[in-house]
């Protein structure tokens, strides 16, 4: 912990560096040379690797120093993203040796995501390749602005200034079209050590920096402390009587006593303690990049994937937004197919709604009339998720505006969230509900206390089905059965709400179409739920399309849908499906519902300990 009580983070002077380039352009050789020339190898490592090469009858290569990449030596290509450390007099470096082979571009996207600077390698003998242009586009996509181009293997072209100038002109023109400015174009021979750590007489026409000098000129990226606080929840641990919410601070700052909001559940609480690992005294505040634990002043349900923020600086929550994605899958990215999006610790099924533009990343050409993204294409599209996700626009907070797309079990795409406009009714209602929940005046009686006293948690039981299947009779029987078991139950009939709080709009069809009636019904239900009741209702007075709005309005309380139907294909995804209930058989059907409530720990019994 620092003197000011801040949780200890990573070394302020370490810089994360990604090295990318076409396959066999010399990335691993350059990394090995950097380790050797800066004295960052363990003692005896160089001689050890040379001895192995002698025994195997191989010529020594500096790439072999990366002994962690054993399979790379067998296959001849780098197969994984590795983190390697070296240091100069100025600072420490963490190298992300991102592979260049097409099969491993996905590693580069995930590996380069946290980098602060980049070296992009080009083989002087082969020149600018298709992969070189794609890598440039990915660096642009990831927001990397500190880039130096390293033209390697100059010894193979006799250190020709003409070759150097040709590559520099061609590639700088491409990068300029991406609005990426390379800080320097450095001609080197990684194999011979020319212009890596030391200059030689091989290229008297070049007066720029060596690779190491260039790296030390890069500026350390400032912590994102000035941005809104974001803590994606990684896990929740229980120690003694404490629940510790663990995660990495992606941006902003936090201190004990701050009131925080968890999205998308809209639950709020105050920070009781900030926990750090292996420190003599626990900190009182935390900053961006630090991994911490947090305890709260009250027990609320928090789970992995939620995002903590300060209540006045909340993130975006939506199911629909626009993205730029670099597609790397074997199969095309298409509409009407389910993928999985991963944003920080969130994982949610999603699908493409609309392709807006497809770009060939190597030529920057717009592919007209193409309604899919092929491998190595960049797509600008609208994405829809099956449940709300929490994010920021990449231009606002890049760490919570990045994502990867998964097709089955493979990471097949990576990109950034570029725009979001709350144009649909659901998004607007979600914003209204969040504002309501943030400013909700809390009782001194905690939710857990009510559950302990009542023997159950709050829940809305929504009975659905066609007219005449017995919904109303079942609703009354469930209310009576719960009441007889000493539970707090209430039958909330939509017609009663219409006669009272919605009486002023019952004759206004336009307002009814806008969903005002369902909003008022949901708000009344929310009050009963906040009081700890199990609320029962039927869908006689609103449509199935209103169910999503209803769930939004009563969050975070669960909604249990009981659908009565004789069909083998019920509508939607009901929690309980019952056959049509004949008159006089309501008790048996109500028992099925009550058993479900017990199984789901909604009915917990009057001697339950929270």
pLDDT in tens, 377-432: 889 999 999 989 999 998 899 889 989 899 998 888 888 899 987 767 778 888 88
82: β partners: 97
CB within 8 A of 524, min separation 6: which ones?
492, 497, 501
For residue 325, what pLDDT is reported?
Answer: 92
- Mean pLDDT computed over every residue of the chain: 85
Does residue 256 have a pLDDT over 90? yes
Residue 480 within any structural domain of the chain: yes
Nearest-angstrom CA–CA distance, 405 and 53 = 41
pLDDT tier, 513 (very low <50, low <70, confident <90, very high otherwise): low
| Highest mean pLDDT, choosing among 142-146, 235-239, 549-553 | 235-239
Domain that holds residue 114: 15-217
Question: Are 71 and 125 found together in one domain?
Answer: yes
As a whole number, mean pLDDT of residues 469-476 equals 92
Give residue-wise pLDDT tens across range 286-300. 999 899 999 999 888
Q: What is the number of other CB atoms lying within 10 angstroms of the CB of residue 174? A: 17
**Which pLDDT tens digit goes with each residue over 9-35?**
444 468 888 888 776 778 878 888 888
Same structural domain, 325 and 352: yes
> Is residue 73's pLDDT more than 50?
no
Same domain? 68 vs 176: yes
- Whether the pLDDT of residue 72 is over 50: the answer is no
Q: How would residue 67 be classed by pLDDT, with cut points 50, 70 and 90? A: low
Cα R_g (the chain), whole angstroms: 30
- Within this chain, do residues 456 and 492 fall inside the same structural domain, yes or no? yes
**How large is the average pLDDT for residues 150-168?**
97
Final residue of a structural domain among 427, 451, 472: 427
> Would you tell me how many other CB atoms lie within 10 Å of the CB of residue 177?
13
Buried-state track 260-297, b at ≥16 Cβ within 10 A, e below 16? bbbbbbbbbbebeebbbeeeeeebbbbbbbbbbbbbbe
Please tell me the distance from the alpha carbon of residue 156 to that of residue 234, in angstroms, as a whole number: 49
| Residues 483 and 544 reside in one and the same domain | yes
- Domain identity same for 69 and 133: yes
**pLDDT in the model for residue 332:** 96
Task: Provide the strand spans (E) within 39-181.
Answer: 82-87, 92-97, 117-123, 147-152
Q: What are phi and psi of 540, to 5 degrees?
A: -65, -30
Helix segments in 399-515, DSSP class H: 425-438, 447-454, 471-484, 494-499, 509-513
Domain boundary among 217, 244, 259: 217
Residues 525 and 463 in one domain: yes
Q: How far apart (Å, rounded) are the C-alpha atoms in residues 72 and 457?
A: 56
Give every CB contact of residue 341 below 8 A, 6+ residues apart in sequence. Answer: 347, 348, 349, 350, 383, 385, 389, 403, 404, 405, 406
What's the CATH number where 513 sits? 3.40.50.300
pLDDT at position 432: 83
Please state the rounded mean pLDDT for residues 74-94: 66
Q: Looking at the domain assignment, is residue 574 inside a domain?
A: yes
Res. 69: pLDDT tops 50: no
Kindly list the distances between the CA atom of residue 320 and the CA atoms of 90, 160, 333, 542, in Å, as whole numbers in the listed order.
45, 53, 17, 25
> In this structure, are 36 and 93 located in the same domain?
yes
- Are residues 242 and 210 located together in one domain of the fold? no
Percent of the chain past pLDDT 70, that is, above it, reads 88
For residue 360, is it within any domain? yes
Query: How far apart are the C-alpha atoms of 39 and 429, rounded to whole Å?
Result: 60
CB distance 184 to 209 below 8 Å:
yes
Residue 354 has pLDDT above 50, yes or no: yes
Residue 485 has pLDDT above 60, yes or no: yes
- Contact between 140 and 146 under an 8 Å Cβ cutoff? The reply is no
Q: What is the CATH number of the domain that holds 398?
A: 2.40.30.10
For the ranges 43-47, 92-96, 119-123, 332-336, the lowest mean pLDDT is seen at 43-47
pLDDT of amino acid 27: 81
For residue 109, the model assigns a pLDDT of 52
């Amino acid at each position: 912990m620092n003197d000011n009580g801040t949780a200890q983070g990573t070394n302020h002077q370490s810089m994360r560096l990604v090295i990318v380039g076409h396959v066999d352009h010399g990335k691993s050789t350059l990394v090995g040379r950097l380790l050797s020339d800066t004295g960052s190898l363990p003692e005896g490592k160089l001689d050890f690797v040379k001895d192995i090469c002698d025994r195997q009858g191989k010529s020594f290569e500096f790439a072999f120093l990366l002994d962690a990449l054993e399979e790379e030596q067998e296959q001849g290509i780098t197969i994984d993203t590795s983190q390697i450390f070296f240091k100069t007099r100025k600072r420490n470096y963490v190298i992300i040796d991102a592979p260049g082979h097409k099969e491993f571009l996905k590693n580069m996207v995930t590996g380069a995501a946290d980098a602060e600077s980049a070296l992009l390698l080009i083989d002087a003998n082969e020149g600018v390749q298709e992969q070189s242009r794609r890598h440039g586009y990915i660096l642009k996509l990831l927001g990397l602005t500190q880039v130096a181009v390293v033209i390697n293997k100059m010894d193979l072209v006799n250190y020709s200034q003409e070759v150097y100038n040709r590559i520099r002109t061609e590639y700088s023109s491409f990068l300029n079209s991406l609005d990426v400015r390379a800080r320097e174009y450095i001609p080197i021979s990684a194999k011979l050590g020319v212009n890596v750590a030391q200059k030689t007489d091989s290229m008297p026409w070049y007066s720029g920096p060596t690779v190491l000098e260039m790296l030390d000129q890069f500026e350390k990226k400032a912590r994102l402390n000035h941005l809104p606080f974001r803590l994606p929840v990684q896990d929740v641990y229980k120690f003694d009587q404490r629940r510790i919410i663990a995660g990495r601070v992606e941006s902003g700052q936090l201190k004990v006593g701050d009131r925080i909001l968890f999205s998308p559940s809209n639950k709020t609480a105050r920070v009781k303690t900030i926990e750090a690992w292996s420190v003599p005294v626990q900190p009182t505040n935390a900053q961006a990049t630090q991994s911490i634990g947090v305890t709260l002043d009250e027990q609320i349900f928090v789970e992995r994937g939620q995002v903590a923020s300060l209540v006045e600086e909340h993130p975006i929550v939506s199911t629909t937004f626009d993205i730029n994605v670099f597609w790397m899958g074997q199969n095309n990215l298409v509409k009407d197919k389910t993928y999985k999006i991963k944003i920080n610790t969130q994982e949610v099924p999603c699908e493409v709604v609309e392709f807006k533009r497809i770009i060939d990343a190597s030529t920057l050409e717009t592919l007209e009339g193409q309604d899919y993204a092929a491998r190595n294409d960049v797509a600008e599209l609208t994405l829809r998720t099956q449940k709300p996700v929490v994010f920021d626009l990449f231009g606002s907070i890049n760490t919570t505006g990045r994502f990867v797309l998964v097709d089955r079990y493979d990471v097949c795409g990576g990109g950034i969230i570029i725009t979001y406009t709350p144009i649909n009714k659901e998004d607007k209602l979600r914003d209204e509900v969040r504002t309501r929940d943030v400013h909700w005046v809390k009782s001194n009686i905690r939710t857990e206390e009510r559950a302990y006293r009542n023997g159950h948690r709050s829940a809305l039981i929504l009975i659905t089905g066609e007219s005449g299947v017995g919904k109303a009779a079942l609703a009354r029987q469930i209310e009576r059965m719960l009441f007889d078991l000493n539970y707090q139950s209430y039958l909330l009939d939509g017609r009663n709400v219409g006669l009272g709080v919605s009486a002023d709009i019952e004759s206004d069809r336009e307002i009814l179409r806008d969903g005002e009636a369902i909003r008022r019904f949901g708000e009344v239900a929310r009050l009963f739920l906040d009081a700890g009741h199990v609320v029962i209702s039927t869908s006689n007075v609103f449509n199935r399309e209103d169910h999503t709005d209803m769930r939004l309005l009563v969050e975070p309380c669960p909604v249990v849908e009981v659908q009565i139907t004789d069909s083998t294909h019920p509508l939607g995804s009901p929690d309980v499906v019952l056959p049509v209930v004949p008159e006089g058989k309501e008790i048996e059907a109500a028992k099925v519902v009550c058993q479900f409530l017990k199984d789901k720990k909604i009915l917990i019994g009057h001697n339950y300990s929270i």
